[in-house]
Structure 1
Amino acid sequence: MTGSPAPVGRPPSATPRDVRQGEGSWLARQPGLGLVGGLVFVVPFAVPLAFGVGGAEGSLRVLGPLATFALPVVAVIAFWWEDWPGTRLRAGWAGWADTVLVIVGAVLLTIAGQAVTARPDLTGIFDPGAGPEHAATFPTTMPLAGAAFVVMLQLTLACERWPLVRFNRTWSGVLALITAWAVALLLTRTLVAPGVVGGADFGALMVTTGVWQTVLFVVLQGWPLDRIESRAPRLLANNAAVLIGALLTYSALSTSVGLAADTISAVCGCVIAGGLLVGILFEGRPRRVRRWRALTLVAVVSAALFIVLTRFAGTVPWQRATASDWVAHAALNAIGLPVILHVGIGRRWPFPRIWKEREETP
């Protein structure tokens, strides 16, 4: 694909441009559109991601790393490539083709992450009961996987894809993925590997950063920083707001409130999931629900998720992970990943086609 990139200047939407052009018809059908999509697509994907490999702990140990390594690939396809290469196929197949590409990318990147942190070992990836003789990917590879996705989001949202967007879409996405991995490797090799920061603490800081990225650029759609017309000051403000906000939030939660690192990840993971549900799954909501009311809705949804997931996790006997680890996985991967796949890659298929046919029927 060699088409010109999407315009720069505002954080990209999860909904592709050609789909957003239909906002006057089917995208305006919120909240019904989000509810139907959530029940038909998000829930059926969320359940196996949360429980599909030997229960909650097995899924955390196997699917947690795989799903986290998949997230940068999802971001490339949804935000940089605008669903290419699936767009070469019919609408019914496009999302599935891109999903297969995401799965393949997840496996390959997990193997690469495993090779960097220990050694390649397929048993350590796919066997939830892998013993100490195997290179288990959880929790060893999680700091690298989380950092790669956070850096990818920073490039995509805070940096508005600049300057990589100057290349064609294919190469800009590839370069963004390479850059995200390079920075993630630098961070983990500099901070986590020598023990300057513990892996769990580093992961909690990454999730806290994700909260600010989600709230500023998904829920608030760049407001109020999007009022800065000049690109250089706006990008500087975007990055400063995310990084400073994340550091202050993490410091407050860990020092002032006294939360453990895994609890911070669980709390912030639920906030991110709430932000994705409100800002992406229910994108196109009425303007009266924007901004402060949207933030209130995110807070309510996030609190509900945290309460429900935490109460369930408290009923499970954990051996090599914690209840908070699973809550973070369930929120970020089991809920967040299907939301992005459904809207950003699957284009909410088949609902736009169904409603369009109904509108055209006399």
Structure 2
Amino acid sequence: MTVAGGKVPGSPPGTAPAPARDRPGPGQPALGLLGLLLVVPIAVALAIGAGGEGSTLVIGPLVTHSLPLVAMIAFWWQNWPGTRLPSALSGWADTALVVVGAVVLTGLGQLLVGGLDLTGMFVATPGPGHVPTFPATLPVAGAAFVVMLQITLVGERRPLQRLPRLPAGLLAVAASWAVAVVGTLALVRIDPVAGSDVLARPGPVTGADAGAALVVIGAWQVLFYVVWRGWPFCAIRRTTARLGVAHPSVIGGGILTYLLARGVLGLEASWIGALAGCFIAAGLTLGMLFEDTITGRGARPLLLLATLALTALLAAGLAGLAETMQFTRAGTDEWIEHAALNALSTSVILHVAIGRRWPFATPTEEKT
């Protein structure tokens, strides 16, 4: 991952694809605009495919649980096993693997809060005696993804980068889940949906606060390691010093931002999560889908301003759409967060980092 200020060693492929000028096919911004032809329909399907509330309650948890697997295939496995197939099938095969894994991990999330229940996993209103995945399973799923990004981006995959990529990726997912499970069991309170078989659990932090804080940490990860390509930490040459500064800066900055938004600005946890989700979607859109569009001196402040502007547009647009929908269990803020974070953000990653922009750019990786 090369930036104006230097290079972050061991940065994963996909977060900074080869510049458009070095790839066959159209350059930017045409390449990003063409990508929207795939990204937008997939995002719409994920956001409202089961209705606004149904998508939030069913598709949202499934996608959230899948995100560590998306990161593993894109950033650790370098799109294996799709690399063994023709480019037209590569991204679709990897996506199918993610879908299967999402069901498995969502089932694991259910086991932690009450028990495996396929009806509760796939039905928006399963009724009494079931274990719905929303919202009880979301804190552990969100924590697993944030930890996975922390290991992958901030931690530069160390020390697992010394292992072959397949076991390294699996170990990263396992480590992410282990940290997430321990953290949520120790800290996060669960208040069951009335009549459900979700087990109540005490804890100092509500699920809503934990989930929103995790999304804010994710926004910091995206800003520094996708939008800004590792700056300013890339200026620190010694690995131990660089990681020693980067890890607490990203995690601490995210937590402090959340506390300020919650305690000083008085924003609701759900709205903070929605805004942070829109920021992540905007950062991935500009940093991945439209990468190499804004370059040169002054690129970083311009990218930040552009990301904030797109965040505002997404938040306003999604809020307007949410007002046209009816919600009972989920709220409009939860749908906005789902539409931005799970639908749009995941679609960008699938297209750029896993699909390698097929069919609009020719992949340059060799099959392995």
Q: Distance in 2 between matches of 1:62 and 1:348?
A: 28
Shift in CA distance, 250/286, structure 1 to aligned 2, threshold 3 Å: closer
How well do the aligned residues superpose, as a CA RMSD in angstroms?
1.7
Q: 237, 241, 255: which one pairs with 1:233? A: 241
Is 1:52 matched up with 2:61?
A: no
1:75-86 → structure 2 map (5 Å cutoff): 75-86=71-82
Q: CA deviation at 1:112?
A: 1.0
Return the letter of the residue paired with 2:314.
L
Contact 1:201 1:261 in 2 (8 A): yes
Q: Distance in 2 between matches of 1:158 and 1:237?
A: 10
Match of 1:37 in 2: 35
Segments of structure 2 that go 5 or more residues without pairing to the other structure are 1-6, 189-200, 364-368
- Listed one character per residue, the Cα deviations across residues 206-247 of structure 1 (whole Å, up to 9, x for unaligned) are 001001000000000011110101100101111011011112
Is 1:209 matched up with 2:188?
A: no
Aligned partner of residue 33 in structure 1, secondary structure:
helix
- Listed one character per residue, the Cα deviations across residues 136-164 of structure 1 (whole Å, up to 9, x for unaligned) are 00001000110000000000011000011
Return the letter of the residue paired with 1:45.
I
Match of 1:170 in 2: 166
- Listed one character per residue, the Cα deviations across residues 174-229 of structure 1 (whole Å, up to 9, x for unaligned) are 00000000000011100014221000000011001001000000000011110101
Q: Which moved more, 1:99-108 or 1:287-296?
A: 287-296
Q: CA deviation at 1:60?
A: 0.5
Contact 1:272 1:332 in 2 (8 A): yes
Q: Distance in 1 between matches of 2:250 and 2:172?
A: 19
Aligned partner of residue 139 in structure 1, secondary structure:
coil
- Matched pairs, number: 344
1:190-205 → structure 2 map (5 Å cutoff): 190-192=186-188, 193-205=201-213
1:151-190 → structure 2 map (5 Å cutoff): 151-190=147-186
Contact 1:265 1:328 in 2 (8 A): yes
1:1-362 → structure 2 map (5 Å cutoff): 9-14=9-14, 20=18, 23-26=21-24, 29-38=27-36, 40-53=37-50, 55-192=51-188, 193-288=201-296, 290-353=299-362
Aligned partner of residue 212 in structure 1, secondary structure:
helix
Q: CA deviation at 1:312?
A: 1.5
Q: CA deviation at 1:88?
A: 0.8
Match of 1:4 in 2: none
Contact 2:281 2:340 in 1 (8 A): yes
Q: Distance in 1 between matches of 2:109 and 2:293?
A: 39
Q: CA deviation at 1:132?
A: 2.6
Q: CA deviation at 1:310?
A: 1.0
Q: Distance in 1 between matches of 2:38 and 2:91?
A: 12
Q: Distance in 2 between matches of 1:263 and 1:26?
A: 42
Q: Distance in 1 between matches of 2:246 and 2:331?
A: 34
Q: CA deviation at 1:28?
A: 7.1
Contact 2:15 2:226 in 1 (8 A): no
Q: CA deviation at 1:21?
A: 7.4
Return the letter of the residue paired with 1:52.
G
Contact 2:13 2:74 in 1 (8 A): no
Contact 1:144 1:184 in 2 (8 A): yes
Contact 1:11 1:221 in 2 (8 A): no
Match of 1:3 in 2: none
Contact 2:8 2:234 in 1 (8 A): no
Q: Distance in 2 between matches of 1:87 and 1:244?
A: 37
Contact 1:68 1:142 in 2 (8 A): yes
Q: CA deviation at 1:353?
A: 3.4
Q: If each structure's helix is expressed as a fraction of its own residues, which one has the higher value? A: 1
Aligned partner of residue 14 in structure 2, secondary structure:
coil
Identity in percent: 48
Name the TM-score, length of structure 2 as normaliser.
0.90
- Listed one character per residue, the Cα deviations across residues 251-281 of structure 1 (whole Å, up to 9, x for unaligned) are 1100010011111100111011110000011
Aligned partner of residue 205 in structure 2, secondary structure:
coil
Q: CA deviation at 1:10?
A: 4.9
Q: Which moved more, 1:328-337 or 1:310-319?
A: 310-319
Q: Distance in 2 between matches of 1:217 and 1:280?
A: 11
Segments of structure 1 that go 5 or more residues without pairing to the other structure are 1-6, 355-362
Shift in CA distance, 295/316, structure 1 to aligned 2, threshold 3 Å: same
Return the letter of the residue paired with 1:159.
G
Contact 2:26 2:361 in 1 (8 A): no
Aligned partner of residue 362 in structure 2, secondary structure:
helix
Aligned partner of residue 155 in structure 1, secondary structure:
helix
Contact 1:20 1:27 in 2 (8 A): no
Q: Distance in 1 between matches of 2:67 and 2:264?
A: 31
Q: Distance in 2 between matches of 1:161 and 1:15?
A: 13
Q: Distance in 1 between matches of 2:135 and 2:127?
A: 13
